[in-house]
Structure 1
Amino acid sequence: MTRSTTTPDENPADRLPKAWNPGDVEADLYQGWVDSGYFVADPDSAKPGYSIVLPPPNVTGSLHMGHALDHTLMDVLSRRKRMQGYEVLWLPGMDHAGIATQSLVEKQLVAEGTSKDELGRDAFIEKVWEWKRESGGTIGEQMRRIGDGVDWSRERFTMDEGLSRAVQTMFKLLHDRGLIYRAERLVNWSPVLKTAISDIEVKYEDVEGELVSLRYGSLNDDEPHVVVATTRVETMLGDTAVAVHPDDERYRDLVGTTLPHPFLDREIPVIADDYVDPEFGTGAVKITPAHDPNDFEMGVRHSLPMPSIMDTSGRIADTGTQFDGMDRFEARVAVREALAEQGRVVAEKRPYVHSVGHSERSGEPIEPRLSLQWWVNVSTLAASAGDAVRDGRTVVHPKSQEPRWFAWVDDMHDWCISRQLWWGHRIPIWYGPDGETVCLGPDETPPEGWVQDPDVLDTWFSSGLWPFSTMGWPDRTPDLEKFYPTSVLVTGYDILFFWVARMMMFGTTVGDELPGPVPFRDVFLHGLVRDEFGRKMSKSKGNGIDPLDWVDRFGADALRFTLARGAHPGGDLSVGEDNAQSSRNFATKLFNATKFALMNGAVVQDLPARETLTDADRWILDRLATVRAEVDDALDRYEFGKACEALYHFAWDEVCDWYLELAKVQFSSERAAEPTRIVLGVVLDSILRLLHPVIPFVTETLWKALTGGESIVVAPWPKETGVGADPVALQRVSDMQKLITEVRRFRSDQGVKPKQKVPARLLGVEEADLTAQIPATRALAFLTEPEEDFAETASIEVRLSLGTVVVSVDTSGTVDVAAERKRAEKDLAAAEKELAATTAKLGNEAFIGKAPEAVVDKIRARQQIAREDVERITARLREMGPA
């Protein structure tokens, strides 16, 4: 038990500022933690290891709300485990973000009047490193602002020498096993960036296009022809077939024949394939294998030619037509007009809204393009990633996400890992003068005169090694021995497939060379952070929230508590300023409660014998034990929201609203005062420690003032006391709370001011076993002892566990009946107006049909409250008698 320490003349309350202003203390507190080495992990420690690797944010980025949620939850887990006696490693770092970083530096060069091509590859890469050294630390500073308890001494960057060595080692390992190959396949191509991009870098948007129906074959309806429709008419320059369903009687005679291409000197075969939907459009589709994923698969099945009709910048090229040199969108118009001149556009162009993939970085529509790239054969790797979850080596939380995991890894396509960039890990393949190739490991030297492949690896390749490359692999380091496999991966479900799957594939592939067969034992998947109306945050909607703005306005604790309180496994969370303000108010409530306790001599020391404590003392200690168990259970299951809700309501509703008020009464008792000071100190000490992982700054400030201890960061986590609960104390306190609450409501209905003392007689208290609670009941209900001239004006019966207590009051002279009637009539009018408005909304079928369910539920709740208010106020007016 931590004990409070004070000097003889010291008032412990003076250790606290006059008011809680987080901006005054957060930066100094954080730096103090770092300087004290609290976050530095020791691989030689005898403590059990616990580790988390931070999902590396892009070096070009800044923290958004999704990051803030990620970081908060990881910090909660890390801080709690540290307090529980684990040797904790939370390893930070950043991703080199190949495309994003190269694009950013390229734009800077253009602004300076030059370009990467003018600089050359080596000079350009040095420029990027220069930018990283000068501007790449933004996100690290923001992490400090929100209180991330990471081990900065182990900060990693995916282009660091050690991580680059790991990347080269993994590439060679997979290449030598025949799992990396080079082939011409269809990729997502960015004409602006002139590189292949990954699926996660493609964002789909609904766009208004045009559907053009064009005619292959004869213009005479009685002669062989077929009509196909397309939104990308320019790609018909690359058509190598027209496909129909094999059972479609309309085209049975055409299958196996050919039709002349309108612009090219070649014949287009008509083929049959089950992929074609005979019910859609004309039941015939054009096939452009080099520019459409589905067409590519069909081209492979039917051994069709696959001519590319565009260059790397998206211009028509090498078709031998008048369209060569045109931009793809310019060609779209020109091809349609040329087809129309031939009489091959069989219907006017029609508006057509369809989903089109756009490059996340450069914004333009991506172009499916046949391209020679490096690929990973993922079949065995994906199977091992799936098996690790199936056999329980890695557990996905929530379990409901498992089907999505298996659907992905069980049907994964080969992975394009090459990018046509300069910034990144260069592919370790070297070409000899006579066409020879060799894959070199990190310690191997290329033959003289050989040339390295110009492409770099997909960023996801290096980040896929993150859990073990950051700890020193391919060497067997002390960090790997102590902290691998990592304990848990915390990330959003939206990148389950792109990042988590790759880490699992790589981790299980080299599991025999590591201290464990998987990269992490648990995967916790949280949802997206949405705005207060449940909408996805986006720049276009203007509804994004800068987490650092909330830190400035409400404090880091408020940001963290808001996010953790809304975090449930797999579920999205909606947040708004009201949530942040509520969290800020909670921190202030804790501050005021602790200051009150210190001003009244609260201390943290061993509890007195239980039999010397009051019912209220025993009740709050039992409730503390229950809540501690609930919090432990919730956090063990990654139920952050449940843990926060339990602590919030216990601290606010039970400790602040009830026990502090009861303590005020007990402080006036010579026998109960000293035990109360100890109980209050012990309860606050435990609350602060339980809350510390979520709201570290205010809890550190208050705990040090309360206990005089070094730091709550290294304080022990509260444990089970081993003392059984006291059901009698619980019953008495619960009955007392009910009695006080009913009297307060009764007073309000009678028009008595909240703190105005009223004489009252309490009957049946002894039978209800509440004799010892009379002083507290009178104090908290503002009831005084009746005098000889007591005359009852009203009474209330409160049914309790062991009997009924009758409270008779004399309100004569305390209530202005006329004023009270006027107030009640005004309240009644407002309640009736609210009832009418909500009833009208709920009766509007158009509104009910369109409004989100959550909105309708809120209106139903408002209607119910208004209905109850009307009934209550009407009854009150009736009691007052005629005006």
Structure 2
Amino acid sequence: MEEWPKHYEPKEIEQKWQNTWLSKDFWDKVYKFDENSEKPVFYIDTPPPFTSGELHMGHAYWVTIADTIGRFKRLQGYNVLLPQGWDTQGLPTELKVQYKLKIPKENRDLFLQKCVEWTNDMIDKMKKAMIKLGYRPDWEQFEYKTFEHNYRVIIQKSLIDMYNKGIVKIKEGPVYWCPKCETALALSEVGYLEKEGYLVYIGFPLKEGGEIVIATTRPELIGATQAIAVHPNDERYKALVGKVAIIPLFNKEIKIIADEDVEKDFGTGAVMISTYGDPQDIRWKLKYNLPAVELIDNRGRIKGTGIIDGLKVEDARKKIIEILKEKGYVRKIEKIKHNVLSHTERSDCLSPIEFLNKKQIYIDVLPFKEKMLKEYEKMQFKPSRMSYYLQDWIRSLDWDWNISRQRIYGTPLPFWYCDNNHLIPAKEEDLPIDPTKAKPPYEKCPYCGLPLKPVTDVADVWIDSSITVLYLSGFYTDKKRFSKAFPASLRLQGTDIIRTWLFYTFFRTLVLANDVPFKQVLINGQVLGPDGTRMSKSKGNVISPLDRIDEFGADSIRMTLLDAAIGDDFPFKWETVRSKKLLLQKLWNACRLSYPFISNNIEKPENLNILDKWVLAEHKKFIEKCINAYNSYDFFIILQEIYSYFWEIIADEYLELIKYRLFQNDKSAIYTLSRILKDIIIILHPIAPHITEEIYNRLYHIKPSILLENLPNTDDIEIDPEAEKIGNNVKKLNSMIRSAKINSRLSMNTYINAKIYGNRNFIEDIKKAEDDIKKTLKIDNIEYIENSEEKVEIEKSDHGSSNHQS
């Protein structure tokens, strides 16, 4: 018989099983998605993380969720498609290569080569960390990188398909622009951040005499002012509507107009319409066909004023205020806190954005709003409240999707264009293609005969990742797989990318495949620092999932991450991980104790001991609750059940009650113990895969892996109310006797005599299990006394009359 170590040491065991799971033999038998299988397909669309090289706690959380669901669905009999991709292209990598490796962007080929090398190094680090957490997707068939040839073909083909549907266009106009990143942005990448600023009150002279005072937070844009707007119902300005004002310093005449979108109560109630200070300026410019003057360049410097040129926006703001003061135009300045539109999608940027006039590639989104608002209801959200955020985002859309990015490391947009803004796609047989290096499909524009120029911009990164469902299900490449795997069974992601990855995948799949991309959407919350706030390096509360993994083990970390309701934010604490390791040690101890008695082949006896009937009834409830919880992704309920059933009933009560019967080779006890321990480790396996695989291999080893077993079936267990009642009363008595021994300062192994008080039913129940109780609790003699109150009195056997009442 193999020696069973007393202490569960996760480091060696977890490494052993991770290596085993990665072996070709195990992949082929356990983890491989089999296209020819007749089993139903369960396809999980997992997030392709950006390749930063660091596996943070948020990654660890969804990795754990994905792996847990994948393992459970295999046990449930599904042919599981569990992929893992990498979102490889993007600005952060460019910045690392540009500033850390000192490679200039101008050397395009070398720059791209170094970006790819950096990306692959980062993937290697993250993949090793994922594996260390017990994550086992189908690396062999469904690992993908968004810069790779096959994936890029599908990206470009999907764009050409959308072009052929008439919704990809080249347009010129104002775009969200990040001066720090030097690229255009999509609406989903910007948001408002509260910042301190100044509200400057400036007097604009009126042509006919007098002045109108406006209040602005963007005085540096005064030279781009095209009109002054007031509310039509504002009595202060009714007489001025239609009059002409003079822009201070620039002496340009502008009209005063009335518009209902003006906030009467902000500042003076009179605002300058500049091109462009904010989205409202753009709406007014289009509404009134105002001219445009662009005062800010790609790098966020002022141009074309002759006064503050070359200064960055912040410096230009200070300088223009000084000049306006000197010239006598400033009426007052207030320090305020206000919302500033910023590049919020990238947490390492957060810079204010500007609006610049650019020629860009757009995908029409607005015409599909109503269809999306109807179709999204086909997807089931967990938690259900998360569907609101998608619905709200769709309703709020007022811009089409600008997919052009003025970067290098990205998927080339497969188009050429002419000066008449005709967009010409590449030929599909030439994909993937880089228009800057390839010949256009025609010598001249087929619509107007003008020369064709390559689109030099690359695609928004969400163009890359929003086709994960179509790529993996085989929409373009494998009709057989597509028929089985689409729509995906489950989309797994965090709250932070609802308006990006979720929305764009939904939109593009709806347009290209005319269906929703997935049946269910599982939205997890955020893992917070131990202080209950969002993890931040500046706050010093960042925890890496690998910091103490050798000490506590991946299984304990996984259990900690899953011990909260899906969608809720929760703090991560190592004390909680420690408590989970104690639970696993308890499981290890119970299995070690049971090891000599476990049998794989024992049949269910015709007559079960009354206490075995009781524990099997509890077992049936446990199994049913856990399977229901897995099906609804309520993993925390499974962990609660493990504590209340395994720890409190099996480990603390049942094992003690049957020890003596095990040594007597009692078939009822051996059958029951063998069955319930096997079921427990199968149920716990998806959450804690390493220790359960190890225990299964030691105790049962019927198949190469626990994942080749089936989920426990308890249909044959009949609930015996009498057995339940007796078992619960025995459990109650056990607790009373143990408390009495503790209060009498007697060890648990000390033999005692006991007086048991209680009503007739209670006493009769105890009598039916008297033999088990005496042997378990070391009782020589029991005296029963009918009484309205249930209590016990004990004395040390063969010793005096030292009494204790409980």
TM-score, normalised to structure 1's length? Answer: 0.83
Which amino acid in 1 is paired with 2:15? A
1:490 corresponds to which residue? 492
More displaced, 361-370 or 553-562? Answer: 361-370
- Does the Cα contact within 8 Å between 1:746 and 1:796 map onto a contact in 2? no
Question: Are 1:196 and 2:147 counterparts?
Answer: no
**Structure 1 residues 797, 95: closer, same or farther in 2, change over 3 A?**
farther
Distance 2:231 2:787 in 1: 79
Which amino acid in 2 is paired with 1:711? S
* CA root-mean-square deviation: 2.9
2:323 to 319, 338, 341: 338
Question: Are 1:647 and 2:642 counterparts?
Answer: yes
SS in 2 for 1:50: strand
Per the TM alignment, residue 437 of structure 1 is displaced from its structure 2 partner at its CA by 4.0
SS in 2 for 1:461: helix
Distance 2:792 2:405 in 1: 81
Distance 1:295 1:782 in 2: 86
2:595 to 579, 594, 598: 598
Distance 1:696 1:107 in 2: 42
Per the TM alignment, residue 94 of structure 1 is displaced from its structure 2 partner at its CA by 0.4
- Does the Cα contact within 8 Å between 1:389 and 1:396 map onto a contact in 2? no
1:293 corresponds to which residue? 279
1:692 corresponds to which residue? 685
1:629 corresponds to which residue? 624
Which amino acid in 2 is paired with 1:730? E
2:126 to 124, 128, 139: 139
Which amino acid in 1 is paired with 2:227? A
Distance 2:304 2:603 in 1: 87
- Does the Cα contact within 8 Å between 1:490 and 1:524 map onto a contact in 2? yes
Distance 2:787 2:387 in 1: 52
Question: Are 1:91 and 2:83 counterparts?
Answer: yes
Per the TM alignment, residue 602 of structure 1 is displaced from its structure 2 partner at its CA by 2.0
More displaced, 412-421 or 352-361? Answer: 352-361
Distance 1:816 1:283 in 2: 93
**Structure 1 residues 743, 134: closer, same or farther in 2, change over 3 A?**
closer
1:730 corresponds to which residue? 724
**Structure 1 residues 130, 807: closer, same or farther in 2, change over 3 A?**
closer
Distance 1:69 1:399 in 2: 20
Distance 1:203 1:280 in 2: 21
2:429 to 443, 446, 455: 443
- Does the Cα contact within 8 Å between 1:41 and 1:151 map onto a contact in 2? yes
Q: Which string of whole-angstrom CA distances, capped at 9 and with x for unpartnered residues, describes residues 523-548 of structure 1?
A: 11121112344322222222122112
**1:250-649 mapped onto 2 (5 Å cutoff):** 250-319=236-305, 321-350=306-335, 352=337, 354-355=339-340, 357-358=342-343, 360=346, 363=349, 365-372=351-358, 373-390=360-377, 392=378, 394-413=379-398, 414-431=400-417, 437-444=423-430, 446-447=441-442, 450-511=452-513, 517-566=515-564, 568-599=565-596, 601-611=597-607, 613-649=608-644
Per the TM alignment, residue 337 of structure 1 is displaced from its structure 2 partner at its CA by 0.3
2:94 to 99, 102, 118: 102
Unaligned stretches of 5+ in structure 2?
431-439, 444-450
1:771 to 755, 767, 773: 767
Distance 2:520 2:319 in 1: 56
- Does the Cα contact within 8 Å between 1:243 and 1:276 map onto a contact in 2? yes
**Structure 1 residues 552, 308: closer, same or farther in 2, change over 3 A?**
farther
Question: Are 1:656 and 2:651 counterparts?
Answer: yes
1:212 corresponds to which residue? 200
SS in 2 for 1:769: helix
Per the TM alignment, residue 813 of structure 1 is displaced from its structure 2 partner at its CA by 11
Distance 1:675 1:17 in 2: 27
Q: Which string of whole-angstrom CA distances, capped at 9 and with x for unpartnered residues, describes residues 623-654 of structure 1?
A: 12111111111121222222222233222111
**Structure 1 residues 806, 376: closer, same or farther in 2, change over 3 A?**
closer
SS in 2 for 1:242: strand
Distance 1:816 1:322 in 2: 104
2:709 corresponds to which residue? 715
1:673 corresponds to which residue? 666
Distance 1:281 1:755 in 2: 82
Distance 1:701 1:100 in 2: 41
Distance 2:405 2:35 in 1: 37
Q: Which string of whole-angstrom CA distances, capped at 9 and with x for unpartnered residues, describes residues 108-142 of structure 1?
A: 342xxx4111x1x2332222223334443221111
Which amino acid in 2 is paired with 1:569? I
**Structure 1 residues 417, 433: closer, same or farther in 2, change over 3 A?**
closer
Which amino acid in 1 is paired with 2:542? G
**Structure 1 residues 330, 355: closer, same or farther in 2, change over 3 A?**
closer
Which amino acid in 2 is paired with 1:624? H
- Does the Cα contact within 8 Å between 2:536 and 2:542 map onto a contact in 1? yes
Per the TM alignment, residue 489 of structure 1 is displaced from its structure 2 partner at its CA by 0.7
Which amino acid in 2 is paired with 1:168? Q
Distance 2:748 2:249 in 1: 89
Question: Are 1:156 and 2:148 counterparts?
Answer: no
SS in 1 for 2:532: coil
- Alignment: residue pair count: 779
2:72 corresponds to which residue? 80
Which amino acid in 2 is paired with 1:598? Y
Which amino acid in 2 is paired with 1:657? D
Distance 1:361 1:642 in 2: 34
- Does the Cα contact within 8 Å between 2:180 and 2:351 map onto a contact in 1? no
More displaced, 494-503 or 438-447? Answer: 438-447
Distance 2:350 2:77 in 1: 52
**Structure 1 residues 504, 286: closer, same or farther in 2, change over 3 A?**
same
Distance 2:339 2:374 in 1: 38
Q: Which string of whole-angstrom CA distances, capped at 9 and with x for unpartnered residues, describes residues 236-291 of structure 1?
A: 22222222111000010111112111122422222212112212222222222323
Distance 2:191 2:422 in 1: 39
**Structure 1 residues 722, 776: closer, same or farther in 2, change over 3 A?**
closer
**Structure 1 residues 618, 377: closer, same or farther in 2, change over 3 A?**
same
1:744 corresponds to which residue? 738
Distance 1:572 1:797 in 2: 53
**Structure 1 residues 343, 780: closer, same or farther in 2, change over 3 A?**
farther
TM-score, normalised to structure 2's length? Answer: 0.90
1:760 corresponds to which residue? 754
**Structure 1 residues 324, 460: closer, same or farther in 2, change over 3 A?**
same
Per the TM alignment, residue 748 of structure 1 is displaced from its structure 2 partner at its CA by 4.4
Which amino acid in 1 is paired with 2:129? Q
Distance 2:257 2:682 in 1: 71
1:34 to 2, 13, 22: 22
1:848 corresponds to which residue? none
1:115 to 104, 119, 122: 104
SS in 2 for 1:137: helix
2:434 corresponds to which residue? none
More displaced, 332-341 or 771-780? Answer: 771-780
